[in-house]
Amino acid sequence: MTGTTTRIEVPADSLFGPENLPYGVIAPAGGAPRVGVRLADSVLDLAVLLDDSTFARPSLNAFLAQGPRRWREVRERVQALAESELPAAAVHSLAAVRPVLPIEVADYVDFYASIDHATNLGRLFRPDGEALLPNWRHLPVGYHGRAGTVVVSGTDVVRPRGQRRTESGTPDFGPSQRLDIEAELGFVVGVGSELGRPIPVDDFAAHVFGVALVNDWSARDIQAWEYQPLGPFLGKSFATSLSAWVTPLAALEAARIPLPPQEPEPLPYLRGRESWGLDLELTVEWNGERVARPPYGRMYWSPAQMLAHLSANGAATRPGDLYASGTISGPDRDQRGSFIELSWGGREPVTVKGEARTFLRDGDEVTITATAPGPTGRPIALGEVTGRILPAHNE
């Protein structure tokens, strides 16, 4: 790149064209973290490009709080500028910047919204009973996670230690031996809500800015011992990986589809005029080999219903809140978004690089990507989420 201006050439097959424009936070060499927008294999420094100090910050939170009108104005301006000569100081090579966690995560909630995933786990854990518990079709089941252990894609994950049930029925303590992934879609709240005021299901787009891929790492042996009677705790809270790029809802208009039928009909507070189903296809790679293609379009509960339920009791939301869909799975084996499903509890190993595998070993790396239909007929991509497993600490 030479001179004072430059033009970004977007290849015809790029999944990050001007119809996409995901937001992230990047640290240029020798510079402080700041907000950028990805265009092809470049990043536009918005503080320089728009001469706006809102973007000279180490998170998206201040911009998120400005609301849908401002989100739309910035997106339209960036789209217009992307077609022209740009100040060279505002353009960085994607390879030359370090990605930073894009949001200051205020709160983190994880749902359980895939009927295929819930059915699979029900069959694994309750083979002689009903796969779905009685409440599952009436409300989006979820739990409150740990915001402080959400990490940006590319961050190594240390194998967790905890109590594990043994064959004798009593626990021991040690590194998880059934370490797993959960391929999920996360939703980033922009505009918060007041304590005591639920968010109506049709106000989803007035509060949620965009989506990002999530890998909610899970220690299944720790989880199995601790989750009764209160649910997930240490088996989940050690790490949740988040993509470095947040795709705005505006980029996903062409991906919107109806929800699958919901029977019985949800209670009134979960009924809306807009369904917010999304036609996204994820890919899970284990040590570089594709092992699953989970389809988000089969999700039973919509993100609008999740947000309405999350706040139904009057819980407040804040800019930077993150909630995730739960594992995305489909009805076929190669559509399962967790290794406990792919290996059917460890009884049916998956072949990875010619080797039979069940759960994660130290040194394993998992990468999750996704694509969605774009407005021009070519797909757009969500930013990937990747992580590598390190050995447990011995202390």
pLDDT per residue, tens digit, the chain (395 aa), is 445 999 999 999 999 999 999 999 999 998 999 999 999 999 999 999 999 999 999 999 999 999 999 999 999 999 999 999 999 999 999 999 999 999 999 999 999 999 999 999 999 999 999 999 999 999 999 999 999 999 999 999 999 999 998 888 899 999 999 999 999 999 999 999 999 999 999 999 999 999 999 999 999 999 999 988 888 999 999 999 999 999 999 999 999 999 999 999 999 999 999 989 999 999 999 999 999 999 999 999 999 999 999 999 999 999 999 999 999 999 999 999 999 999 999 999 999 999 999 999 999 999 999 999 999 989 999 999 999 999 999 85
Residue 375, pLDDT score: 92
pLDDT given for residue 3 in this prediction = 56
CA pair distance 126, 120, nearest whole angstrom: 10
Asked if 120 and 329 touch (Cβ cutoff 8 Å), the reply is: yes
Binding residues are: 110, 112, 126, 182, 184, 216, 223, 227, 236, 240, 327
- Tell which residue, 238, 245, 182, has the closest CA to residue 215: 182
Here the tokens at position 272 are 């809306």
- What DSSP letter does each residue of 106-155 carry, written as one string? --EEEE---HHHHHHHHHHH-TTS-SS-TTTTTS--EEE--GGGEEETT-
Q: What is the pLDDT of residue 2?
A: 47
By the 8 A CB rule, do 360 and 158 touch?
A: no
Burial-class residue 13 by CB neighbours within 10 Å (0-12, 13-18, 19+).
exposed
Q: Map tokens 């369904």 to a residue.
A: 275
Question: Using an 8 Å Cβ cutoff, are 320 and 103 in contact?
Answer: yes
Q: What are phi and psi of 147, to 5 degrees?
A: -65, -30
Supply angle C-alpha 72, 79, 242, rounded to 5. Answer: 70
d(CA 330, CA 112): 14
pLDDT of res. 204: 98
Dihedral Cα 110, 107, 235, 121, nearest 10 deg = 0
Binding site for substrate: what residues are annotated?
Answer: 112, 126, 223, 227, 327
Q: Is 117 a catalytic residue?
A: yes
Q: Is the C-alpha dihedral spanning 283, 323, 242, 223 positive or negative?
A: negative
What are the residues whose beta carbons fall under 8 Å from the beta carbon of 116, sequence distance 6 or more? Answer: 298, 329, 330, 331, 335, 336
Q: Are 364 and 287 in contact (CB under 8 A)?
A: yes
Q: Burial, 324: exposed, middle or buried (Cβ in 10 Å; 0-12, 13-18, 19+)?
A: buried
Numbered residues of the known binding site for Mg(2+): 216, 236, 240
Q: Are 242 and 151 in contact (CB under 8 A)?
A: yes
Binding residues for Ca(2+): 110, 182, 184, 216
Return the pLDDT at 30: 86
Instruction: For the chain, list the domains and their CATH numbers.
Output: 5-100 (2.30.30.230), 108-390 (3.90.850.10)
Alpha helices in 161-314 (DSSP H): 204-207, 220-226, 303-310
What pLDDT, on the 0 to 100 scale, is given for residue 394? Answer: 81
231 φ/ψ sector (left φ>0, alpha ψ -120 to 50, else beta):
left
User: Residue 205: CA atoms inside 13 Å, Cβ hemisphere, count?
Assistant: 16
- Let me know: does 318 contact 189? Beta carbons within 8 Å: yes
Q: Give the type of residue at 355.
A: E
Residue 17: HSE in the Cβ half-sphere, 13 Å Cα cutoff: 17
pTM above the 0.75 mark?
A: yes
User: Of 117, 138, 144, 207, which residue is the catalytic one?
Assistant: 117
pLDDT at 1: 40
Q: Which of 370, 181, 371, 372 is nearest to 286 (CA)?
A: 181
